[in-house]
Amino acid sequence: MRLHLSFLMFLLSLPVVLCSLAFGQTGDQNKVLTNASLQEVINYALVNKPGVKQALIDEEIGERDIKSALSGWLPQIKGSAAYNYNLKQQQSTLTIGDETSLLILGTKHTSNFSLQADQKFLDAGLIQASKAAKFYRLQYKESTENARINTVVEVSKAYFDILTSREQLNIINETIVRLEKQFKDARAQYDVGLVDKTDYQRAQISLSNSKADRKRAEELLKYKYAYLKQTIGYSSDKDFSLNFEAMRMENEVLLDTNQARNYENRVEYRLLQTQKQLQHLNTTYNKWTFLPSISGFINYNWNYQNNTFSNLYDRNFPSSLFGLTLDIPIFQGTKRIQEVRKSELQERRIDLDLLNTKNQINTQYEQAIATYKANLNDWKTTLANVELSKQVYNVIKQQYDEGIKTYLDLMTAETDLRTTQLNYLNSLYSLLSSKLDVQQALGTIIVNQ
């Protein structure tokens, strides 16, 4: 197989292109991906992958939670209705001089309708909800961003895996073509008595093994396509094919290994910072609980009384009331103090989480950059080995045809050529994956909304 440099350069530079992807397309699950590029596959995944959809739904749920919490600032209006039948009416005595009279209070039937509006003017919980709203929104958006970044990495690796597997299958097919020719040549030489039968028998064994390898590669490729479909949320019963355009991107092939690490680029670190802000607000809220709360209310009541049910609603005795309420929490058994101390300890714990996350990011980056450098060296080495193995094979094939080299030498050269080609593709895939890992560790894979 002839490995085109432009194809390799394109594959290696694709992760860089991911950083400029734009999100904001309308999801269409009925869209059919045929001859799809990496960007098209990623764009589809960013709209249709269940994990991304769930993150967006969580964001909407969070917005509803925020609005629900802030709704406490609005007037709370409620209505009520009641009917009572006094089985035994209350009695009272009235004494005038020496005479005592028995009085029956109320009526047998009573009913009332009430409409009341409550308004809070000062409340610790509502103040906290107002101040925390922007941080909760930020937290939900960062979670969605994290889901998108993971999607870009996961889809890209699956895409690269399919492309390298396709090239491996092409190598096997080209090997089979060579082996079939070698088998025919060896059989022809045996038929005319130039060589013994072991040559063409060895060729037949190698040919059968290569065909078995092709079958295995074809079946694995089906699985890899199915895995990519699952990853992007694509229906398994729809047509699906990939394509790419060979491009020269020599200036973007190599990764700058001296990029400065900025923890703020990592969404996981920003999520912890947002969590710390929310925890600090919680500490402040627990301090606000020492403050009084002020609320107001106004109501209007329709009251009905009568000893006869049929005449109960003939006459209304209305009433109305307006008032203010001041609640001053004086002592709650040190509960508020304990809650303040607990929240402060949780803040300190998040500080340690931030420190630990910094250390994890450093370790992740060092591992990713070391793996990338090693894979880059392997890629360069295998690239050179492919060219050398081609030259060796061509020379030995010519010498075998001239009767100078044995068929075993030819088989060894054939095996070396195939091995170096497959090693090259494996090193290429490893290099592409490790480059994505470095970009993820640096936080440079950004999906714009």
The answer as to whether 355 is a domain residue is yes
pLDDT at 284: 92
The answer as to whether 152 is a domain residue is yes
The answer as to whether 108 is a domain residue is no
pLDDT at 432: 85
pLDDT at 55: 94
| CA pair distance 132, 213, nearest whole angstrom | 59
Structural domain count, the chain: 1
Identify residue 179 by its one-letter amino acid code.
L
Q: Please, are residues 199 and 189 in contact by the beta-carbon 8 Å criterion?
A: yes
The answer as to whether 245 is a domain residue is yes
| CA pair distance 269, 272, nearest whole angstrom | 5
pLDDT at 366: 93
The answer as to whether 284 is a domain residue is yes
The answer as to whether 93 is a domain residue is no
Domain holding 390, by residue range, is: 5-78+121-172+190-199+224-295+332-442
pLDDT at 8: 47
pLDDT at 247: 41
| CA pair distance 182, 177, nearest whole angstrom | 9
Q: Please, are residues 399 and 410 in contact by the beta-carbon 8 Å criterion?
A: no
pLDDT at 25: 45
CATH number at residue 143: 1.20.1600.10
Render each residue's pLDDT in the chain as its tens digit; 449 residues. 444 444 444 444 554 444 444 344 445 667 888 888 888 888 999 999 999 999 999 999 999 999 999 999 999 999 999 999 998 888 887 777 777 777 888 889 999 999 999 999 999 999 999 999 999 999 999 999 999 999 999 998 998 888 888 888 988 998 898 888 888 887 887 777 777 778 778 888 888 998 999 999 999 999 999 999 999 999 888 888 887 554 433 334 467 788 888 999 999 999 999 999 999 999 999 999 898 999 999 999 999 999 999 999 999 999 999 999 999 989 888 989 999 999 999 999 999 999 999 999 999 999 999 999 999 899 889 989 999 999 999 998 888 888 788 878 888 888 899 899 889 888 888 888 888 899 999 998 877 55
> Coil, strand or helix: which one is 122?
strand
The answer as to whether 312 is a domain residue is no
The answer as to whether 214 is a domain residue is no
Q: What's the pTM value of the predicted model, to 2 decimals?
A: 0.80
| CA pair distance 232, 152, nearest whole angstrom | 10
pLDDT at 18: 47
